[in-house]
A and B are shown apart, each in its own frame.
Chain A
Amino acid sequence: MQTPAHAGVFLFSPAMIYSLLVMSAPASGQGAMTAARFARAALARGHSVNRVFFLDAGVANGAAAAVYPQDEEDRLRPWVELAEQHGVELILCIASALKYGMLDEAEARRYEKPAATAHPAFTISGLGQLVDAAAAADRLVTFGG
């Protein structure tokens, strides 16, 4: 199939596997929301997203109790929809998650913290999940800032 040189012209591409790495905090800049939109657009173009891995400040995107202003886009919902409607795996890096207070039920019990703070659409796991996803991916796309 021909692949024209310039974006904006119809482009056929074989279905690819994408892994996304999100470094961007949810409430600072647009990086995280651009990542969520990218994931949706990649799925719409027929690709699969094998994992979205959140690292460093990016883990805050998983905050279950985040409340966003009524007149702005909700920054949690796009991720929850990707997980619940499209089966996209959302992983919060455990080392970063702990530092940012992102805990699931098990970690909250283990560290005797008052509550689980990560939304259940997200799983807390190790960097091996990023390495594994990238090894299987045709494209690895990072979002920061």
Chain B
Amino acid sequence: MAARKRLLLLIRHSPYGSSLARASLDVALAAAAFDQPLSLLFTGDGVLQLLPGQDSEALGVRNPGRLLASLPLYDIEQVYVDAEAAARYQLDLGAAPVTALALERQQIRELIESHEHLLGF
């Protein structure tokens, strides 16, 4: 692998309404598996991926919530969340499937500026 560029995934879509949630998590896991430095930021409807208790068995589809819970196995110990978006959906981040740090707008800008590559999903 070439020199390490820090990658930030910005995730805006809910878990089951489109294929973008799965696509973004697949990218995250691939980057982690290849030992590339990576951060995830959930904003907009993307924060809904952090709802606990997702149960997709009846739908017969994979469960992004459960995928998120496995992130620590890939050395991704925490994800970032847009505090305003979480508040809009009344999310209890303490119950999220993975440790989720709430960021205010200025902190989000700093997060963006501290990564070489960005991917919006």
From the candidates A56, A126, A136, name the one contacting B2 in the complex (CB within 8 A): A136
Stretch of B18-26, B41-49, B75-83, B97-105 on the interface side:
B18-26
A134 touching B30 in the complex, CB below 8 Å, given contacts A56-B19, A57-B19, A96-B23? no
Given contacts A56-B23, A127-B27, A128-B30, are A135 and B4 in contact (CB under 8 A)? Answer: yes
Q: Is B11 an interface residue (CB 8 A)?
A: no
Cβ-Cβ contact count across A and B, 8 Å cutoff: 55
Interface size of B in residues (CB-CB distance below 8 Å): 21
> Considering the chains assembled together, what is the distance between the CA atoms of A37 and B23 in angstroms?
24
Given that A130-B30, A134-B5 are known contacts, is A140 also in contact with B118, CB under 8 Å in the complex? yes
Interface readout for B1-34 with A: 1 if CB under 8 Å, 0 if not? 1111101000000000001100100110011011
- Determine whether the beta carbon of A131 is less than 8 Å from that of B34: yes
- Chain B residues whose C-beta falls within 8 Å of the C-beta of A132 in the assembled complex: 1-2, 34
Q: How far is the CA of A104 from the CA of B117 in the complex (A)?
A: 30
Is B53 interfacial (CB-CB < 8 Å)? no
Number of contact residues on A: which range applies?
Answer: 20 to 34
- Does residue B95 face the partner (Cβ distance < 8 Å to A)? no
* Chain B neighbourhood of A136, CB < 8 A: 2-3
Interface flags for A124-145 (1: CB within 8 Å of B; 0: not) read 0011101110111100101010
Question: What 0/1 readout, one digit per residue, does chain A (1-30) give for beta carbons within 8 Å of chain B?
Answer: 000000000000000000001010000000
B2 touches A135 (CB 8 A): yes
Q: Is the CB of B36 within 8 A of A131?
A: yes
Asked if A121 is an interface residue, CB under 8 A from chain B, the answer is no
Instruction: Give me the interface of B with A, judged by CB distance under 8 Å.
Output: 1-5, 7, 19-20, 23, 26-27, 30-31, 33-34, 36, 117-121
9 contacts between A and B (CB under 8 A): A56-B19, A126-B30, A128-B30, A131-B36, A134-B5, A134-B117, A135-B2, A135-B4, A142-B120
Binding site for B on A (CB under 8 A): 21, 23, 55-57, 93, 95-96, 99, 126-128, 130-132, 134-137, 140, 142, 144
